[in-house]
Copies of this chain bind each other. A is one copy, B any other.
Amino acid sequence: MVPHLITALNGPINELEQRILESMPAIERWFRLEWMEHTPPFYSSVDVRNAGFKLAPVDTNLFPGGWNNLTDEMLPLAVQAAMAAIEKICPEAKNLLLIPEKHTRNSFYLSNVQRLTQIFNQAGLNVRLGTLDETITKPTTLTLPDGGTLTLEPLLRTPRRLGLKDFDPCTILLNNDLSGGIPKILENLHEQYLLPPLHAGWAVRRKSNHFQSYEEVAKKFAKLLGMDPWLINPMYSQCGQVNFADGTGVDCVQSNAEALLAKVRRKYKEYGINEKPFVVVKADAGTYGMGIMTVRDPKDLEDLNRRTRNKMSVIKEGQEVSEVIIQEGVPTYERMNDAVAEPVVYMLDRYVVGGFYRVHAERGIDENLNAPGAAFVPLAFAEASHMPRPGEKPGASAPNRFYMYGVIGRLAMLAASYELEATDPDAEIYE
């Protein structure tokens, strides 16, 4: 189950929506059984693209920002989910140490930190903020757009524990995706819960691992519903050793793009989809919408202009791109006042707690919307007259539509759970 939201549009009738709604109890039970075997990520957000003929996650964020974009109405759901999460991890906990990103001048990001603080505070934890920014050597108060304040404090490391002055937390929650590498101060913390784990950070994580796990999840789920997994799964391939600046390895990207486009074309033919396929090339460890390129024709990769080469070479915190993922492009046919939109689903523990539309007026249906100029339209709770009704015509009910988005979001979250298990450096292997 999922909060029932007013989606921005009522799209075309969709067989998938009908199938998902009809199978609601079976789907919920399936997730319940999966969560008996797997641990959900502490929190996550998933970008979903709805092509009408296909609905798929295109990005799963394990250090979600943007909590401030959720409506206030969703706060109780988030707090309730946070209570459930904490109860499992550290029920005696008094204190939570939250480690945010370093870019503290971004007031949107600070509002996100404020909202996270509020959620965990209301779930019954004293929340304080520790920063990885070593230039901050004493408590530093920042003012927020709404007049509130946040205080960043320098981290205090002892041989076995991490905290702040007079603050010893049970759980350390990272809202910093570690794109710049794993800081020494976070290593070897075996007495405290460090969440998400270090290998969930972009210093270690790879999109290709995630989508490999997602493929596995999508196949299981598709079997449950008796459908083609492609309807919810974006195909992909990958290349290592790519250097867009000097052209090394671009031939690999090109041939993979070509092969993938051919596969997509066959699928489009199978389903009678009258569209021009495209693929999206992304840094395998990239985030923040950086290092992303839409490719409609592999030939375009031959002579990239300087700007594109630069864009594809360096991502967040100056990290160089060398591994890339080539992913089937899923156009988004959601629109809000003519601007292209994609739903983003927010989860805490195994619960969907909210979502919003990322809307971009200057981008096309086949482009990444996570870019400067994007706006966020919160999805409000359903009106009384919009109670989800399994009997309702597919596509006609906004809450039903959002239920479907929540299912896809949770499939991606489950994939992240598989992914983190598979990539856990401390995992014990049982043969």
Q: Which residues of A contact B (CB under 8 A)?
A: 1-4, 24-29, 31-33, 35-36, 71-73, 75-77, 79-81, 83-84, 86-87, 91-94, 118, 121-126, 351, 381-384, 387-388
List the B side residues contacting A79 at CB < 8 Å: 1
Contact between A92 and B125 (Cβ–Cβ < 8 Å)?
no
Indicate whether A24 sits within 8 Å of B72 (C-beta atoms), given known contacts A1-B83, A91-B32, A91-B33: no
Number of copies: 2
Pair B351/A36 contact, Cβ less than 8 Å: no
Residues of B within 8 A of A76 (CB): 1-4, 77, 381
22 contacts between A and B (CB under 8 A): A1-B76, A2-B76, A25-B121, A25-B125, A26-B124, A27-B124, A28-B83, A28-B125, A29-B92, A29-B93, A29-B125, A32-B83, A32-B86, A32-B87, A33-B92, A35-B87, A36-B91, A72-B387, A73-B381, A75-B387, A76-B381, A77-B77
CB-CB nearest in chain B for A385 = B72
Q: A126 contacts which chain B residues (CB < 8 A)?
A: 25
* Contact residues in B for A73 (Cβ distance below 8 Å): 73, 381
Main secondary structure of the interface of A (DSSP, over half): helix
What CA separation (Å) do A2 and B2 show in the bound complex? 18
Contacts of A29 in B (CB 8 A): 92-94, 124-125
Contact status A124-B33, CB under 8 Å: no
Q: How far, in Å, is A16 (CB) from chain B's closest CB?
A: 19
**CB pair B71 A384 closer than 8 Å:** yes
A388 partner residues in chain B, CB cutoff 8 A:
122
CB distance from A138 to the nearest CB of B (A): 24
- How many Å lie between the Cα of A282 and that of B225 in the bound state? 54
A192 to B: closest C-beta gap in Å: 17
